[in-house]
Amino acid sequence: MPNTTSSTKKQSAEHSDSGGSFPKAQRTKIVKSNDDTESKNVIKKLKDVEISVPIVYDNMAFWLGKKVSGYLSHKWTVHVGGATSEDLVVVIKHAIFQLHLSFNNPTRVVESPPFELSESGWGEFEIAITLYFHSDVCDKPLNL
């Protein structure tokens, strides 16, 4: 882009001394608006801000009766959800349930609500639950 401001200043100075009516040059800074920058500022995480979302996890197991033998003695469900039945899909990205090693595929990933798992097997054993959150919510997983 040619530098017209300096030549206009020279002409303006020349004409102002001679009494001409040439307009005085003005400096104008042209700033290109960048909508991406504004949207990035909105998406930035707020530091030192805590938001509490009450999460409950529970399980139910039903004995299938005397007819069933072996390790398939119960039908059970483990569930992760909001304390007041709110939809946690905006917070939770996926849940990983780590079952007892005697189960086929003991590591189960649930990527959409309801974040629950139902299976037949033992009626009592520990299940490790790890919740992964969306990146704009929390970077660290939560072990329950």
pLDDT at 65: 87
pLDDT at 35: 54
pLDDT at 34: 53
Enter the pTM of the model: 0.64
Would you identify the CATH topology of the domain 55-143?
A: Immunoglobulin-like (2.60.40)
Per-residue pLDDT 10s for the chain (144 aa) are 444 444 444 444 444 444 444 444 444 444 444 555 554 554 566 677 777 889 999 999 999 888 877 778 899 999 999 998 888 999 999 999 999 998 899 999 999 999 999 998 877 889 999 999 998 888 899 999
pLDDT at 93: 96
User: Domain map of the chain by residue range?
Assistant: 4-43, 55-143
CB–CB of 112/89 below 8 Å?
yes
Query: Amino acid identity of 83?
Result: A
Residues 6+ apart with CB under 8 A from 141: 130, 131, 132, 133
CA atoms within 13 A on the CB side of 104: 3
